[in-house]
């Protein structure tokens, strides 16, 4: 069935009009991209995309990612025109204003129909790779009748130029994610001007080298767009379609220029555009016949959705898919209490990265939603378990992803998997390389995504690899990120607790900072004390003068320091604080009980001291490392930098006497 261009042109012009008018009203925003890609989007929505505005969360819908998030008016227009409940026209009038779901960039948590938050260029496409992975995994697990959808992306020059693009398309090509299609807004313009200012790369050749199929089309010719998409659908590889477009198409004086990328057209140019497009409707008004066309195609997906629902109801695996897509854990306790009880009896002395693997053996066996991986550090991150067999192009039912040395790509893909739903992703690298994926961790938190980051080799305790590999500021800088749980467990019990808590967080990510070196058991109970973020591990014997607060490997040091203080008649509590954020959520009374005002508070953590004032106060003492580490065995470094009772106790006594 070929499309009637006469009908499509006004539909696309509705996107153009809404976009230029909303940006003008806000006096802020990006009209160029939505105006340029209006024709491509109209063909995609009218002919190919599987969606139902009355059920934005329908599990088997196609996923559409607007990776070029600055063009947010494109998706707001599409959602409104096709008949989603929101945004209303009033929401669009309030584009970029406080409280409007039409935020500056698309936010997944503000508007159903927005699959992920985009704006940081490159990450939308990289998240789409994760969505396509989740789709194939669930397809392999639940079958074609229940899971059978595609992942579509609109990306700009910026998304393709960012470094993460290399990681993302390498992974997608290797995994043969043939149901992923990228529509590239090939307009040869970025903010500074023509793309020839900064690049001469043959982008399609790069994609082909990564195992992709490529096509090109005239992005303003509906028949040619349709042809290119049909070709992409017919090819088994992931596809890139270079859609040659004119930025700001329709604006007679500004189209084709970088001036239309990110500023309102202005009243005169808007009038001229209306004239040129033959668009006589007033601002924020859509002619009835055009709206009717859009609304009728918005109803096209209803039958497919209803068919799917009846298949779901009749399928033996339907309830399990529904559970997973709702983000609920399997019924029961996932074996956690029994495992904690065993640990409290065994008291193993293991590295917390090893303890993490032990906890994962239990959890991955009980929670099929968990899909693990590592950025080429599987043996170091201890992320692979018996239950998680490799996820490969030949076996999408696998649950372990060899991400390769692609930390940022891994983190973005995990965001995509978590947002797709049905999967709880976790992945590992060295903590020091959390910076490589930092903006994706930020997007996990912003998007309310349940992603678990397994960050091992968490301090100078990693030893001989030296300062390039020794995270010093990382734990604290991750704590600075809102809505992220940062765990630094002290032993196997706290590690198991951290895992149980992280997996249970439906709407926020966690980072587990884990040691390379062995750590003794500091606890012998199984009371989930980490759930409070911090707790009194040891109460003072003599009259309490000091409260030592420590995390991870330094809890052992704090215990030794407390023993030495007690030997001198100085009463000392030890507080283990595996998670600042959870501690902050406790009552004032609990926090005051754990960190009383009438004692000297001392933090001990092998990292920067910046921030510990929050817990020790301005008259407390911070023991840390405000410098890069050094290359030497871990024990030597702990001695050298003063993380021993012998070095710490005199400082405490001096402070008490000052």
Ligand X SMILES: Cc1ncc(C[n+]2csc(CCOP(=O)(O)OP(=O)(O)O)c2C)c(N)n1
Could you tell which of ligand X, Mg ion, none binds residue 599, using a CB distance below 5 to 8 A set by kind? none
Contact partners, residue 466, CB within 8 Å, separation at least 6: 629, 630, 631, 632
- Other Cβ atoms less than 10 A from the Cβ of 588: the count is 7
403: helix, strand or coil: coil
Which member of 40, 41, 121, 559 binds ligand X (CB under 6 A)? 121
Query: Is 632 exposed, middle or buried (CB count within 10 Å of its CB: 0-12, 13-18, 19+)?
Result: middle
Q: How far is the CB of 47 from ligand X (least distance, A)?
A: 24
Which member of 158, 250, 427, 533 binds ligand X (CB under 6 A)? 158
Alpha carbon 363 to its chain centroid, in Å, reads 21
In the complex, residue closest to Mg ion by CB: 157
Q: Based on CB atoms, which residue is closest to ligand X, 191 or 610?
A: 191
Could you tell which of ligand X, Mg ion, none binds residue 18, using a CB distance below 5 to 8 A set by kind? none
Q: Cα(435)–Cα(637) distance, rounded to whole angstroms?
A: 23
Which member of 87, 101, 113, 119 binds ligand X (CB under 6 A)? 119
Contact partners, residue 645, CB within 8 Å, separation at least 6: 557, 560, 561, 563, 564
The footprint of ligand X on residues 224-253 (CB under 6 A) is 247
Asked if residue 189 binds ligand X (CB under 6 A), the reply is yes
In the complex, residue closest to ligand X by CB: 156
- Start-end of H helices in 421-473: 438-446
Q: How far is the CB of 122 from ligand X (least distance, A)?
A: 6
Q: Based on CB atoms, which residue is closest to Mg ion, 123 or 139?
A: 123
- Start-end of H helices in 367-425: 378-381, 407-420
Q: How far is the CB of 182 from ligand X (least distance, A)?
A: 13
Q: How far is the CB of 227 from ligand X (least distance, A)?
A: 23
Nearest one of 66, 128, 54, 51 to 102, comparing CA atoms: 66
Residue 328, both tokens: 């609920």
The residues that are catalytic are 407
Q: How far is the CB of 117 from ligand X (least distance, A)?
A: 12
Q: Based on CB atoms, which residue is closest to ligand X, 247 or 401?
A: 247
* 134 backbone dihedrals φ, ψ, rounded to 5°: -60, -40
3-state secondary structure 183-220: EEEECCEECCEEHHHCCCCCHHHHHHHCCCEEEEEECC
Asked if residue 261 binds ligand X (CB under 6 A), the reply is yes
Q: Based on CB atoms, which residue is closest to ligand X, 23 or 594?
A: 23
Strand partners, 512: 454, 487
Q: Pattern of binders to ligand X over 405-434, x per CB under 6 A?
A: ------------------------------
3-state secondary structure 258-300: HHHCCCCCCHHHHHHHHHHHCCCCCCCCCCHHHHHHHHHHHCC
Query: Is 216 exposed, middle or buried (CB count within 10 Å of its CB: 0-12, 13-18, 19+)?
Result: middle
Asked if residue 39 binds ligand X (CB under 6 A), the reply is no
Q: How far is the CB of 438 from ligand X (least distance, A)?
A: 12
The footprint of ligand X on residues 46-85 (CB under 6 A) is 68, 70
Asked if residue 37 binds Mg ion (CB under 5 A), the reply is no
Asked if residue 29 binds ligand X (CB under 6 A), the reply is no
Q: How far is the CB of 408 from ligand X (least distance, A)?
A: 11
Q: Cα(71)–Cα(248) distance, rounded to whole angstroms?
A: 11
Asked if residue 366 binds Mg ion (CB under 5 A), the reply is no
Asked if residue 190 binds ligand X (CB under 6 A), the reply is yes
Nearest one of 165, 143, 171, 140 to 153, comparing CA atoms: 165
| Count, residues near ligand X per rule CB under 6 A | 19
CA distances from 646 to 557, 630, 652 (A): 10, 21, 11
Asked if residue 187 binds Mg ion (CB under 5 A), the reply is yes
Q: Pattern of binders to Mg ion over 100-139, x per CB under 5 A?
A: ----------------------------------------
The footprint of Mg ion on residues 155-174 (CB under 5 A) is 156-157
Residue 649, both tokens: 């106790």
Nearest one of 513, 508, 426 to 476, comparing CA atoms: 513
Could you tell which of Mg ion, ligand X, none binds residue 120, using a CB distance below 5 to 8 A set by kind? ligand X
Q: How far is the CB of 188 from ligand X (least distance, A)?
A: 8
Q: Which residues contact ligand X by CB under 6 A?
A: 32-33, 68, 70, 119-121, 156-159, 162, 185, 187, 189-191, 247, 261
Q: Which residues contact Mg ion by CB under 5 A?
A: 156-157, 187, 189
């Amino acid at each position: 069935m070929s499309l009637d261009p006469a009908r499509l042109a006004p539909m696309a012009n509705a996107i153009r009009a809404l976009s230029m008018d909303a940006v003008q009203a806000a006096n802020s925003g990006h009209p160029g991209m939505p105006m340029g890609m209006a024709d491509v989007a109209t063909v995609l929505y009218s002919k190919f995309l599987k969606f139902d505005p009355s059920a934005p969360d329908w599990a088997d819908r196609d996923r559409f990612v607007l990776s070029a998030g600055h063009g947010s008016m494109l998706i707001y227009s599409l959602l409104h025109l096709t008949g989603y409940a929101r945004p209303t026209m009033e929401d669009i009038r309030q584009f970029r204003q406080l409280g409007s779901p039409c935020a500056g960039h698309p936010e997944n948590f503000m508007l159903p129909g927005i699959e992920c938050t985009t704006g940081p260029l490159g990450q939308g496409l990289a998240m789409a790779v994760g969505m396509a992975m989740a789709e194939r995994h669930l397809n392999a697990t639940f079958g074609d009748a229940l899971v059978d959808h595609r992942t579509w992306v609109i990306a700009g020059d910026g998304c393709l130029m960012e470094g993460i693009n290399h990681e993302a398309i390498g992974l997608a090509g290797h995994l043969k994610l043939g149901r992923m299609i990228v529509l590239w807004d090939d307009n040869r313009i970025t903010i500074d001007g023509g793309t020839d200012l900064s690049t001469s790369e043959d982008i399609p050749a790069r994609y082909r080298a990564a195992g992709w199929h490529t096509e090109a089309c005239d992005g303003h010719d509906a028949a040619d767009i349709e042809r290119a998409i049909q070709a992409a659908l017919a090819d088994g590889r992931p596809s890139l379609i270079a859609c040659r477009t004119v930025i700001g198409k329709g604006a007679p004086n500004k189209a084709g220029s970088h001036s239309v990328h990110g500023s309102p057209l202005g009243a005169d140019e808007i009038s001229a555009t209306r004239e040129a497009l033959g668009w006589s409707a007033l601002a924020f008004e859509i002619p009835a016949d055009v709206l009717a066309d859009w609304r009728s195609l918005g109803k096209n997906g209803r039958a497919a959705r209803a068919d799917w629902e009846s298949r779901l109801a009749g399928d033996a695996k339907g309830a399990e898919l529904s559970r997973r897509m709702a983000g609920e854990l399997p019924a029961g306790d996932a074996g956690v209490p029994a495992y904690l009880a065993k640990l409290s009896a065994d008291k193993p002395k293991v590295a917390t990265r090893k303890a993490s693997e032990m906890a994962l053996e239990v959890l991955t066996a009980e929670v099929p939603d968990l899909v693990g991986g590592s950025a080429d550090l599987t043996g170091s991150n201890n992320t692979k378990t018996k239950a998680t067999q490799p996820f490969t192009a030949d076996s999408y039912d696998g649950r372990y992803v060899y991400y390769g040395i692609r930390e940022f790509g891994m983190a973005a893909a995990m965001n995509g998997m978590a947002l797709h739903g049905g999967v709880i992703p976790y992945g590992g690298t060295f903590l020091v390389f959390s910076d490589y994926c930092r903006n994706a961790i930020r997007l996990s938190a912003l998007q309310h995504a349940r992603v678990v980051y397994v960050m091992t080799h968490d301090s100078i305790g990693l030893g001989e690899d030296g300062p390039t590999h020794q995270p010093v500021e990382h734990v604290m800088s991750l704590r600075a990120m809102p809505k992220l749980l940062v765990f630094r467990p002290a032993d196997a019990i706290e590690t198991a607790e951290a895992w149980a808590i992280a997996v249970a967080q439906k709407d926020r990510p966690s980072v587990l900072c884990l040691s390379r070196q062995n750590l003794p058991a500091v606890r012998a109970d199984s009371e989930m004390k980490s759930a409070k973020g911090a707790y009194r591990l040891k109460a003072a014997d003599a009259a309490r003068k000091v409260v030592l607060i420590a995390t991870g490997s330094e809890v052992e040091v704090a215990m030794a320091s407390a023993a030495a203080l007690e030997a001198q008649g100085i009463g000392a509590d030890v507080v283990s604080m595996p998670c600042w954020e959870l501690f902050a959520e406790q009552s004032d009374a609990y926090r005051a009980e754990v960190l009383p005002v009438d004692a000297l508070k001392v933090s001990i953590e092998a990292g920067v001291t910046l921030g510990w004032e929050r817990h020790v106060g301005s008259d407390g003492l911070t023991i840390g490392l405000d410098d890069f580490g050094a290359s030497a065995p871990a024990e030597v470094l702990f001695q050298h930098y003063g993380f021993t009772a012998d070095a710490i106790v005199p400082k405490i006594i001096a402070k008490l006497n000052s």
